[in-house]
Structure 1
Amino acid sequence: MEITFILLSSLVLSSVEAVQLGQQQIHLSLSPADDSGPSSLPDWIVRHAGPIAPFHQIGSYEPPPTSCKVVQVNQLQRHGSRYPTAKVNKRIQRAIRKLQQASHLHESISFLTKYQYRLGEDSLLPLGASESFNAGVQLASRYPHLVDPQHLPFIRASSSQRVVHSAHNFSSGFAAHIGIPLHSIKPIVISEDHHSNNTLDNNSCPNRKSNRKKKQWLKTFGAKITDRLNSLAVNAGLDNKDTLALMQLCIFESLAEAKLSNFCQLFDHADWSDYSYYYDLDKYYNHGQGNPLGQAEGLGYVAELFTRLTGDTKWVEQDQSKVNQTLDRSWVTFPLDRSSYVDFSHDNQMISILAALGLPATQTLPETGPPSSPKSWDVSKWMPFGSRLTVEKMACGPRQNEFVRFILNDMVLNITSCKSGHDYRAFNEDPTICQLSHFLESRTGLLEQSKNLHEQCSI
């Protein structure tokens, strides 16, 4: 990853053309709507890859109403595309060993006889660096009235290496676009030590029970795929966990090599929808609105967001969950005079934050499937690598009333938790815009439970 970071940092010297150069070097793109360029994965996999999907936009950004002006932007980002984690790496290599030790391989998978596993572990892929770089360019170009060399975003990152590097790559893209030296933007790095409060990490709720719903679904959809794979590799003895690992390998290797992995041919188009639902169940019932303690991890960040939106420190001062009071009571590490803030985190924490915000509107997921169509909860859409949740604070109308909008990967979200009624009538029928005071009111009751929920997490 160090090489990737140096590459993108050097692009700052070449202004905006550096973005194009970076894409040419990496040779990747996703779709016409995406800002990360062409993908090595077909669309039918990208849309069902769960939390290891490469970044892709799920909507086309719509500017605020003409009577409104964005006066502050808060953006929460997941780190960019990475190699498999250590745990997933072990599972993938176990599945490969089983296949290569089979007594006979069907000719369709004969490539395995000479195959060597070369994927790294945990660190960012070149694509992941590009995703964050492009996000920096996008923020600078979308909100030129909020950012310039004298008004830079305040950036924080949780301390995992891939998260910190994503923050640096974002800064590289931002600096390239507005034409400033990279060293002008330095993120605050927050420790992920278990004894340290960190609103950008998902490590403070050991009592949040892991559900078995995803395991049941793996049995339901995985059995037929596993049987098919075992018929191609005689005596391999693959199980459903191996099947899951090989599907992950298809995605990871395609992203790493910038071409479709041979392992992808092992699976039918229909397999990917079922694979995707496995992660929908995982994230919804482990970290999201389907878990009674799912939103507990996200309360501290919501308190910080409300403090920034209002300029009132009572929100962080009253929090009794995971706000780091030492950092958040310092103007150096938690300023309130910026027009833009960008935080870098992990997928599980972002899902908990979405749950605490009551977003997006979601129906209970059936444990035994099949997934509904269209999905109300879709991890492939909401939380790919590089996912971006943007909160726009707007001043609207002649009275400059304060409103908020939430944009997830360029889709403007409906705010179903918003208290009804606006002081500014033009927005009464718009479910994507909520008066700031009304949105604060809709979440206040939950924030007041921070102590109780935090105690349930740790008792």
Structure 2
Amino acid sequence: MPSRTKHIVLPIHVSQHYDAPATPHWHESGWRVGMRKHNLLKLSFLVVIALFFFSTSIHVRPRRVLNDSAPPLGLPKDVQTAWGQYSPYFPVGIYLPPPTECVIAQVNILQRHGARFPNSFDTYEQSIKKLLSVKKYEDTRLDFLKEYEYDLSSEKLTSFGAAQSFNAGEEAFKRYSHIVSEDNIPFVRATRKSRVIESATNWTVGFAAASQQQYNPFLDLAIPEDQNNTLNENCPNANDGTQQKDEWLSVFATPIAQRLEEAAPGSSLTNNDIFNLMAMCPFESIAKRRPSDFCGIFTKEEFREFEYHGDVEKYYKTGYGESLGPVQGAGYVNELIARITGQPVQDDTSHNYSLPFPSGRTIYTDFTHENLMIGVFSAMGLFNKSTTPLSTRRMDTDREWVASKMVPFSARMVVEKMTCGGVIGRGFEKDFVRILVNDAVQPLEFCGGGRIKMCTMDAFVRSQGYSRGPAGKDWRKCFN
């Protein structure tokens, strides 16, 4: 068995029981919550069986897959997906097993931590206090504030987020158990942030549970976020998207602030206050596993505008809208190339050569934050169909760049390396690469993905020229 020198043990926060509301309903002014208690509901998704065919000559095997029903928060899916990067994980597509001519040989998983409480620097409570100071509310949707107390923790992983990670570990074993053995169990890394570490450890417990304790991976390496680190964005000279997201905030939040000034006279809410109050909908709903009363203050259309705020922020922070965005993901891309090719890492950006990882593993799983994942997507060339930047003056309703589909809580990118023969290999056995983001198979046009949405490994490696070359020059711009 491979040498295992670092073993981090943490409490597992997987809650199996919670109270859920009855199915609520929308009306034109916002969200109305009906409350009916249900005990002993397990946090799980329904399982369905599907059979899919690429073509008459390329077949795939039937496989159980998770459906895309809404997590049990008592809110419709179209509400939960309007929370941008604060949305809970949803499968964006149905997982398709590889063609029958192909055998998966290695899997690399890059996963965001599970759902968390607000950050310590967030000012949600201060915005709420402005509403609490009002003597009389002119809108009954604010009446809940008469007895309201802010009681959310900060920074930590929620029990819902722990369960997300546990479920992801279970799913990984069920999907890829055929490449696991006692001598080759997953190698797991995380940044040294408590919610990221706990997400990683819950994933390992879920993986072990699904194997009935036959395989017991653990967190091999936790990397401090102040070190050179391919799992944490780090470019001091890069813009953070504040200017662009504030431009959009002024467009959509100003009329909401005016409306709430009439509903709560004297509250004097700013545009930032509006964002904070809207963010309370996902954070409180997830933390308490029932619809937050803050959800009812806003309409569906207003939440769509809130969602676009997250899209804009990510695009102009570590995405294509920031010239030094993609370089922050280049280090991970170069590590990925080293893993799938079995060659040493070649990187002039964020790879830390003092923290090597073992070669030859069949499953590598890395836990990180959403901004790093966006940087990786941008460095690789994913989600790049649009020829124009995201507008900050009007919402682009046809955009491909949607944060809730890319980096929700517990988001995951999976890179499958497989060996294919037959029609796909054109008479020879060849290595191919397929990439899934939240179970949606990516088209990979940049390396000739074609109708099967897979590239030969050689073509994929060639397509990643930015990370292996110009990224080094951009990395120096981060600090000079």
In terms of fraction of residues, the more helix-rich structure is: 1
**What is the deviation of 1:9?**
10
Residues 379 and 466, structure 2, Cα contact 8 Å, conserved in 1: no
Structure 1 pair 59–5 and aligned structure 2 pair: CA distance change class (3 A): farther
Corresponding residue SS for 2:177: coil
In 1, the alpha carbon distance for the partners of 2:206 and 2:212 equals 10
**What is the deviation of 1:150?**
3.6
Task: Determine whether 1:277 maps to 2:308.
Answer: yes
Residue 406 of structure 1 aligns with an amino acid whose one-letter code is I
- After superposition, the C-alpha distances for 1:164-218 in whole angstroms (9 at most, x for unaligned) are 000000000000011227865233111112xx2110011x200002331111110
Which residue number corresponds to residue 394 of structure 2?
Answer: 370
1:346 aligns with one of 369, 378, 393:
369
Task: Determine whether 1:394 maps to 2:418.
Answer: yes
Pairwise CA RMSD of aligned residues?
Answer: 2.4
**What is the deviation of 1:292?**
0.7
**What is the deviation of 1:148?**
3.7
Which residue number corresponds to residue 236 of structure 1?
Answer: 267
Which residue number corresponds to residue 320 of structure 1?
Answer: 348
Corresponding residue SS for 2:179: coil
Corresponding residue SS for 2:435: strand
Task: Determine whether 1:205 maps to 2:239.
Answer: no
- After superposition, the C-alpha distances for 1:120-173 in whole angstroms (9 at most, x for unaligned) are 101011110010000000010001211244421111011100000000000000
2:115 aligns with one of 54, 78, 81:
81
Residue 301 of structure 1 aligns with an amino acid whose one-letter code is Y
Residue 12 of structure 2 aligns with an amino acid whose one-letter code is I
Which residue number corresponds to residue 288 of structure 2?
Answer: 257
1:309 aligns with one of 340, 350, 357:
340
- After superposition, the C-alpha distances for 1:84-130 in whole angstroms (9 at most, x for unaligned) are 00122xx2111111001113212331111110011110101111001
In 2, the alpha carbon distance for the partners of 1:182 and 1:104 equals 60
TM-score (norm 1): 0.88
Listed as ranges, the gaps of 5+ residues in structure 2 are: 1-9, 18-37, 47-65, 422-426
Structure 1 pair 375–39 and aligned structure 2 pair: CA distance change class (3 A): farther
In 2, the alpha carbon distance for the partners of 1:97 and 1:394 equals 55
Residue 361 of structure 2 aligns with an amino acid whose one-letter code is R
Corresponding residue SS for 1:376: coil
Structure 1 pair 184–384 and aligned structure 2 pair: CA distance change class (3 A): closer
Residues 171 and 182, structure 1, Cα contact 8 Å, conserved in 2: no
- After superposition, the C-alpha distances for 1:50-69 in whole angstroms (9 at most, x for unaligned) are 11111111110111111111
In 1, the alpha carbon distance for the partners of 2:222 and 2:237 equals 27
Corresponding residue SS for 2:287: helix
Task: Determine whether 1:143 maps to 2:149.
Answer: no
Which residue number corresponds to residue 413 of structure 1?
Answer: 442
- After superposition, the C-alpha distances for 1:386-429 in whole angstroms (9 at most, x for unaligned) are 001000001001522011010011100111211x4xxxxxxx74
Listed as ranges, the gaps of 5+ residues in structure 1 are: 12-22, 329-333, 421-427
2:258 aligns with one of 227, 231, 238:
227
2:223 aligns with one of 190, 201, 205:
190
TM-score (norm 2): 0.84
Corresponding residue SS for 1:48: helix
Query: Does 175-184 or 110-119 show the bigger shift?
Result: 175-184
- Percent identity over the alignment? 36
- After superposition, the C-alpha distances for 1:314-354 in whole angstroms (9 at most, x for unaligned) are xx2x31111010112xxxxx111111110000000010011
Query: Does 184-193 or 232-241 show the bigger shift?
Result: 184-193
Which residue number corresponds to residue 451 of structure 1?
Answer: 472
**What is the deviation of 1:223?**
0.8
Which residue number corresponds to residue 382 of structure 1?
Answer: 406
Instruction: Please list every run of at least 4 consecutive aligned residues from structure 1 whose deviation after the TM superposition is greater than 6 angstroms.
Output: 29-32
Corresponding residue SS for 2:392: coil
- After superposition, the C-alpha distances for 1:258-300 in whole angstroms (9 at most, x for unaligned) are 1111111100111011111111110001111111110111111
- After superposition, the C-alpha distances for 1:349-377 in whole angstroms (9 at most, x for unaligned) are 01001111111234134423433333210
1:99 aligns with one of 93, 112, 131:
131
Residue 375 of structure 1 aligns with an amino acid whose one-letter code is R
Residues 115 and 410, structure 2, Cα contact 8 Å, conserved in 1: yes
Residue 243 of structure 1 aligns with an amino acid whose one-letter code is I
